[in-house]
Structure 1
Amino acid sequence: MIIYNVTSAIDPSVHEKWLQYMMDKHVPEIMATGKFSKIKIVKVLGDEHHHGGATYSVQYTADSREKLDEYYRDHSPAFRAEMKQLFGESILQFRTELEIIQEFLSV
């Protein structure tokens, strides 16, 4: 499994609008592509003092490299363009890919 991680520093002026957009539109539409088995939105704690706004990590879990590559090819350009159109320079984002080697669960 691969986690496609998008970290976003959100300007306070668009924070509520961005979070609502993510919950109501973006995440449901990305789940509808069938390329990810789960998506987590997590808030980075203690980061507000660096830029005055909140930082979030959105973790999209793909079951295979092929599914992630299909997402990049078939869906990512439109989603990125929409994010840029709606929020412009009010969000600073960077993306990383993480390969899950092993998960350990509490018993």
Structure 2
Amino acid sequence: MLLYNVTVIIEEAAAEEWLQWMLEIHIPEVMATGKFVSNRLLKVLDSPNEGKTYCTQYVAETAEDYADYQQNYAPALQADLQRKFENRFVAFRTLMEFVA
């Protein structure tokens, strides 16, 4: 099992709009791809960054599911985020494997 983590640092002024968009539109669209079995959205409480920091985590059962998501779905979904919140966020993505 793999954990795909997307950390977003969003400007304070855009944070509420981003959070609503994530919950109502983006996360449901990602889950509708069928490539992840679960997800969660977390707020980082001790971030040293300006703005608000959130982590969205998705669990994929196989490396093939994750690779298919990255190849066939991620580019369009990430472009939507970029268009909607252009110049108001920074994002970085991490792929992790469950060990225990």
The equivalent residue for 2:12 is 12
The equivalent residue for 1:60 is 58
Instruction: Give yes or no for contact 2:6–2:91 (8 Å, CA) kept in 1.
Output: yes
Gaps of 5+ in 1: 103-107
Number of corresponding residues: 100
Structure 2 counterparts to residues 1-107 of structure 1, below 5 A: 1-47=1-47, 50-51=49-50, 53-102=51-100
Distance 2:46 2:40 in 1: 19
The letter of the residue matching 2:81 is M
More helix by share: 1
Cα RMSD of the aligned pairs, angstroms, is 0.9
Q: TM-score, normalised by structure 2?
A: 0.96
Instruction: Give yes or no for contact 2:9–2:49 (8 Å, CA) kept in 1.
Output: no
Gaps of 5+ in 2: none
Runs of 4+ in 1 over 2 A off after TM superposition: none
